Amino acid sequence: MNDIHTRPDIEKLITRFYEKVQADALLAPSFSHVDWNEHLPVMHSFWASMMLGEQTYHGAPFAKHASLPIGHDHFTQWLTLFHETVDELFEGDKATEIKDRARNIAQIFQHKMNLLNNTL
C-alpha cells in the first residue's frame, strides 16, 4: 500500500470518504443539502492545500459548518469514517499526518461550535 503523495491520491481518499458519509445513517442527514458536484472539488482543494502545499483552496471552512445541527457523536463518526478510509487506501507518514490533521480540525470545530451554542 502506498502513502499519500499526489492530488489524485487526495481526490481518491476524499471522494471515497464522502461516499461513506452520504451512506452513513448519522451523518447523511447533516449533509443532505450539499451539492456534491460542487462540494467535492472544494474538499479536494482544501486537503490538497493542507497536505501537498497547493494554493488551490480559499475559504473559511468553519463558517460553513457553524450553523449545522451537529454534536459530539457526529464529529466522532466523521473522524471514525475518515480514519477508516485513510487506513483502507494508504499507509505511511502522510497517511498518519492527514489523520492527525483531521482529528485536530474536528476538535477545533467542535470546540468552536460548543462556544457558539453556549453563548447564544
Give pLDDT tens digits for 67-97: 666 778 988 999 999 999 999 999 999 999 9
The reported pLDDT for the residue numbered 32 is 85
Domain-embedded: residue 43: yes
The confidence band for 120, taking pLDDT boundaries of 50, 70 and 90, is very low
**Displacement of CA 61 from its chain's centroid (Å):** 10
- How many domains does the chain fold into? 1
Choose between 113 and 17: higher pLDDT.
17
d(CA 56, CA 29): 28
Here the cell at position 66 is 457553524
Domain-embedded: residue 55: yes
Which CATH number is 37's domain given? 1.10.490.10
Domain-embedded: residue 2: no
d(CA 98, CA 105): 10
pLDDT digits (tens, 9 = 90+) for 50-71: 999 998 888 777 666 656 667 7
What string of DSSP letters covers 46-85?
HHHHHHH------S-HHHHHTTS---HHHHHHHHHHHHHH
Domain-embedded: residue 84: yes
Task: Provide φ and ψ at 86, rounded to 5°.
Answer: -60, -50
Domain-embedded: residue 53: yes
- Domain residues for the domain of 40 are 7-119
d(CA 117, CA 70): 11
pTM above the 0.85 mark?
Answer: yes
The reported pLDDT for the residue numbered 114 is 76
pLDDT digits (tens, 9 = 90+) for 19-58: 999 999 999 998 888 899 999 999 999 999 999 999 888 8
